[in-house]
Structure 1
Amino acid sequence: MAKPGLNDFVAAKIAERRVSEDDVVTLRRYIYGDMAVSLEEGASLFHLNNASPDLCEAWFVLFPEAIADILVNQASPQGYVSNDNADWLIGQITADGKVCSATELDAVLHVLEKAREVPESLELFALNTVKDSVLTGKGATRSGEQLRPGVIGDAEVELLRRVLYAGSGSRGSAISRAEAEILFELNDATVEADNAPAWSELFVKAVANYMMAMSGFTPPSRDVALARENWLETPGGFDGGLGGFFKKMIGGGLGGVLDAHESKPSAYAERGAAIEEEIARNEIVTEEEASWLVTRIGQDGVLHENEKSLLRFIREESPNIHPLLKPLMDKAI
């Protein structure tokens, strides 16, 4: 339960409509006085945040930090977010019926980034939050940029990238079909918009990551797929796209990736060989993946530029294109 006096202090701050730096120090004393943060105290913080008072900069540090401590650091086992706690977090954000704020999204991202494992529902909630911000022009960005309904700006690309990166640590390395579906929904909804150039690259890399990248291994395939490297315009991608980048990484081409582990060269060589074999298998686009992509691209009956870029990328990087994709590949020339 919340510590004695915390609810009264929060009520006073809501009445004053202001939270100062000194107030944040006081809140820290209330919350962390016994080195633990409870769900009830987290709810009090949400109550204060939702009241929309004048919040100092220190608040934007305390709030996501405390929520992550509740759901990740104090979880049992530590680092694993339960379905109940994920539902609690989503429920706190949606309880006031308002659009998820930038501060609330920061809290979700802190949880995703710090956790070893979270329910997929929480990551998809974050992705859908950004998607809704794009479509409505309201919501989760503190970049200072003005949101334009139906347009993906640089701020939204970076938020999407951050959510997808966070999934690398929380649920595994590969982009999931559910994530790829949300990206397609965004692409379809903004196909004629003046989107940031970075959107095209993120869309192609992330969906290609789902189509071709590894699964079941821990090396950061999302990190490679979502890095700010413009290799869509280069024939052959980045030394062979996702797979080529991994092979270069495992072979020592990134200098320092293996240097830090010189004490166990044979173990890492064996690990590298196993990963390279897995990459080769997963670069092949299967019938299931091809069928999904044909259905997804054909939903509006038009092959748009980002979709052409995706098909060209897959054609260049995959050693075995399924026949189902051939008609689309021919149109993407």
Structure 2
Amino acid sequence: MTMHFADIARQAATDRRVSSEELLSLRRAGWANGTITPEEAETIFALNDALDDRSAEWVDFFVEAIGEYVLNTMQPAGYVTEEQGKWLIDRLNASGKVESMAEMELVVRLVERASNVPERLKVYVIATLEHEVLSGTGPTRHGGDLSDTHVSEAECRILRRALFAPGSDRPGAISRREAEMLYRIKDACLESENAPEWKRLFVQAVGNHLQGYASASAQISRERAAELEAFMADASSNVGRFLGRMAKTSPNRFGKVFGKKGTDAPTREQLVAADHAVTASEKKWLDIQMSGNGMVDEYDQALLRFLEGGEAP
């Protein structure tokens, strides 16, 4: 971290505000060498804690800088290490809550950008989403407010972004933990004046958990990604160069050289159809969720219609 970066951050923290000129200087100094250092990341977090007001420009810088540090400091890029995940959780918990405008946007943007994150961070993201939807207040980066009295339209947007993100608990689909979180939110806000989008999101998301298909290879671990990158970068094998040249010159040779395997394996269409069927264990799980508040409410009824082939509300 340069002295210039530290001086700007120190003055802004003293003033409890960041001017546009200071923000531009922080950007220039922070990315002077193309990366965000651990010291700079700590300084940026400390400055965020000190600010009285967080402008949209500051939020964008904060999210971009911390995301750059967490996702691209270590190779392979796009993956969060266990140590970085722990650091991020500890840092977010330092103030006792996830501040809606900056820190909430960081949590969501991180799983949107990441190829995968550690298990503890996935659990933390789910818990944070639930807490902020039920208890959070204040503006969000993309308009609207968090509400502690009902599920707002802004909260629906945040949930949808995070739940279907590449770095989420079940990328492109809804996991069991995520579906159970949605049920808890539904029961807690059942009598509230919720945004119309909430029922639609609830039905689509829980329906996706029960009937949606998710590839087992949608996410790979950071360790596996590192192995693959090392393999493809191995100059002695030239595998990547060989395959690339072969694909360009003789694209139809792959089947002849490597042979056709897995002809008895189910097709993607068959896998999708199999996942669409609600199994006995899934029905049992759904019964438990619906009995949580002692009645089959309007959200449950809309979900059942959706599972039977109806439209989402």
Contact 2:54–2:102 under 8 Å retained in 1: no
Tell me the residue number matched to 2:274: 281
Opposite residue 215 of structure 1, the aligned amino acid is: A
Per the TM alignment, residue 140 of structure 1 is displaced from its structure 2 partner at its CA by 6.3
**Residues matched between the structures, number:** 269
Where do residues 207-286 of structure 1 align in structure 2 (5 Å cutoff)? 207-216=206-215, 274-286=267-279
Deviation by residue 1:54-111 (Cα, 9 ceiling, x = unmatched): 4454322211111111111233211111222122112111102234332112222222
2:27 aligned with 1:47, yes or no?
A: no
**How do 1:1-333 and structure 2 match up within 5 A?**
2-139=1-138, 141-142=140-141, 145-167=144-166, 172-216=171-215, 274-316=267-309
Contact 2:170 2:214 in 1 (8 A): no
Unpaired stretches in structure 1, ≥5 consecutive residues: 220-262, 318-333
Cα pair distance change 1:54/1:303, threshold 3 Å: closer
Whole-Å separation in 2 of the counterparts to 1:24 and 1:42: 15
Cα deviation, residue 168, structure 1: 6.4
Contact 1:137 1:150 in 2 (8 A): no
Provide the identity percentage.
34
**Counterpart residue type for residue 302 of structure 1:** M
The answer to whether the Cα contact below 8 Å between 1:120 and 1:171 also exists between their aligned partners in 2 is no
Cα offset, 1:137, TM superposition: 4.6
**Closer/same/farther in 2, CA of residues 188 and 172 from structure 1, 3 Å limit:** same
User: What letter matches 1:109 in structure 2?
Assistant: V
What does residue 260 of structure 1 align with? none
Preserved CA contact (<8 Å) 1:204 1:309: yes
CA distance in 2, matches of 1:30, 1:168: 29
Task: Give the letter aligned to residue 90 of structure 1.
Answer: I
Structure 2: which 5+ residue stretches go unaligned? 219-250, 256-262
Report the aligned-residue RMSD.
2.8
- Decide whether the 8 Å contact of 2:100 with 2:136 is kept in 1: no
CA contact (8 A) 1:109 1:163 kept: yes
Q: Indicate if the aligned counterparts of 1:112 and 1:167 stay in contact, CA closer than 8 A.
A: yes
Moved more, 204-213 or 102-111: 102-111
Relative to the length of structure 2, the TM-score reads 0.77
Structure 1 counterpart of 2:288, one-letter code: T
Q: Give the Å deviation of 1:51.
A: 0.7
